[in-house]
Chain A
């Protein structure tokens, strides 16, 4: 999880085995074969099929015809697609930094050893990760709701009229809050695990040099967990672009605020399963996949290059 670097960077090649035993052989395929077979069926085949679908169009008159890149052209001019992409981009720019920031601060606090009850903190903050997205969304939506929600109760208790978190203006922020709640602990654990393996001799050296805590954090800890930071960022970007579960569950409770093209994935889902436009849906999914991969790749390059 903590590295997407090519194996060359992450893993030293096994030392040459003594006396010519263990030559390069096909034995390993006996073990990796089953994984590769299923992987080909559920990853490679659908990708290939998707590419194939995106080149055709199913029309009422004339049936399925080859249209070349027409679907891609349509996707690039599709306002609904761009609106959805804009929404998840905004989400990405706000929610991901907030979530990773909180996760990092908590991880540093745990790692500093200055907390009372460190284990309790670590386990409790991680727990929401075990809650299914559907349950998390239902739970938060009920709390958001004015009918029997906490927001309504708190409003009543303090005599305030709190804004409705399920209104069109606020619903994206409300989704952001749910996603943050689900994944703060998970990211915290990634950072914390990375911090744990920083050699303590470095801290001792820094202390001898008179470095304060802040300096230890910026000069030693953050650079040491750069890999974990980059990976968590990439996973969060992928997650944001794939946003689907939370809006689709919330849609039932806030139909006015969330449209069925709210996020790119929701849009492809609606195209395919309500609109029966499988070819165009596959095209939008491919465009979205490409955008995701390019951004993930750029983040990885930039993140790994600095200070490398």
Chain B
């Protein structure tokens, strides 16, 4: 941080740091040092670079390790390639091991994400729109309860939810994972803030005067304006569902309904058990395959989630 300190100016507006001093040149240095375009600092870049390394090195390790055979993993240095380049073999083996159960897990995860995260986004968009644009009885109560619920530890709900679902016969079915995924209090909050700013009430009025019903007003007027917020919320609900571990761990016993996270965990547990077949190279390769889609989604949709988050903080 020390590098950000500019030399102390002499304390008067007439002599800001930089080659100035005369009234005529006063404007130039001020513009150059204005918050928009300050001087770049190598030291600060290097310091932040340390955090960058910390963030990226494990991912680099994962990519490199996915190219190694089981023996290569223990034989070679972690951050460099082994002699054999086994990435394609590893990927093929990951998808064929144990009758291709990994492909099944991938499809399960996709199902949970599409229905669970998709549904969560849809409910959050509808709810956020209602909170932002309608005054209805119980509006404040709804908001207070939902926000209060954020503080309830999700795992505190797990045992009773499991018991409830088990009496309803839902455990060991996809519904046990999908239904709890449908609620995203954070998504609701984000959509509420976003809808409040993105949809001019006059536009809704105009649509109503033109004879559009509420449903039609929502789909034709509101929805297009909400698009950036919707992308943001779907990304975050998608990450939450894709990464979900605790919920499937308690709900699903049948490996045929495992999502990727639980499947990888079971492979790892199998490898760590005495007498189990060690498949660490498959755990590593499977891990890489698991994170690639999400990272790709985040990289491709940067523009949206960054603007969406910025909107979320406007209400400070």
Contacts and interface: CB of A to CB of B under 8 A. Distances in A.
Interface of A: 1-4, 6-7, 10-11, 14, 17, 21-32, 34-36, 38-39, 41-47, 49-50, 53, 102, 105-106, 108-110, 112-117, 121, 123-136, 138-140, 142-143, 147-150, 153, 157, 181, 184-185, 189-190, 193-194, 196-197, 200, 203-204, 207-208, 210, 212-214, 217, 224-225, 227-228, 234, 238, 241-242, 244-245, 248-249, 252-253, 265, 268-269, 272-273, 278, 281-282, 285-286, 288-289, 292-293, 296-297
Query: What 5 A-B pairs are tightest by C-beta distance, nearest first?
Result: A28-B134, A28-B136, A31-B130, A132-B243, A35-B127
A194 B309 CA distance: 9
Contacts of B79: 150, 153
Nearest to A286: B156
A34 B218 CA distance: 15
Given A46-B157, A115-B40, A32 B54 contact: no
B266 to A, nearest CB: 10
B24 interface: no
A123 B305 CA distance: 11
B314 interface: yes
Contacts of A213: 4-6
Contacts of B157: 42-43, 46-47, 50, 285
Given A143-B58, A148-B78, A213-B4, A7 B40 contact: no
B153 A288 contact: yes
A131 B190 CA distance: 22
Given A106-B51, A269-B158, A288-B153, A278 B163 contact: yes
23 contacts: A2-B315, A23-B135, A26-B137, A27-B134, A31-B218, A38-B182, A42-B157, A42-B179, A43-B149, A132-B242, A134-B243, A135-B264, A138-B264, A142-B65, A148-B78, A193-B313, A203-B34, A210-B12, A252-B268, A265-B155, A285-B155, A285-B157, A292-B152
Contacts of A150: 61, 78-79
A252 B262 CA distance: 13
Interface string B128-141: 01110111111110
Nearest to B4: A213
A241 B74 contact: no
A45 B272 CA distance: 38
Contacts of B284: 138-139, 142
Contact of B287 (A127, A139, A181): A139
Interface in B80-105: none
A127 B298 contact: yes
Nearest to B41: A114
- Which residue of A32, A43, A110, A181 has the most chain B CB atoms within 10 A of its CB atom? A32
- Which residue of B52, B55, B186, B297 has the most chain A CB atoms within 10 A of its CB atom? B55
Contact of B48 (A49, A109, A140): A109
B312 A1 contact: yes
A204 B188 CA distance: 36
Interface string B251-265: 000000000111011
Interface in B15-42: 16, 30, 33-42
A289 B153 contact: yes
A212 B8 contact: yes
Contacts of B146: 39
Given A28-B134, A34-B127, A210-B10, 16 more contacts: A22-B205, A112-B44, A114-B45, A124-B56, A132-B243, A139-B284, A140-B58, A143-B61, A153-B78, A181-B54, A190-B309, A197-B310, A213-B4, A228-B313, A268-B159, A285-B158
A222 B180 CA distance: 37
Given A123-B302, A268-B159, A25 B272 contact: no
A265 B153 contact: yes
B114 interface: no
B35 A194 contact: no
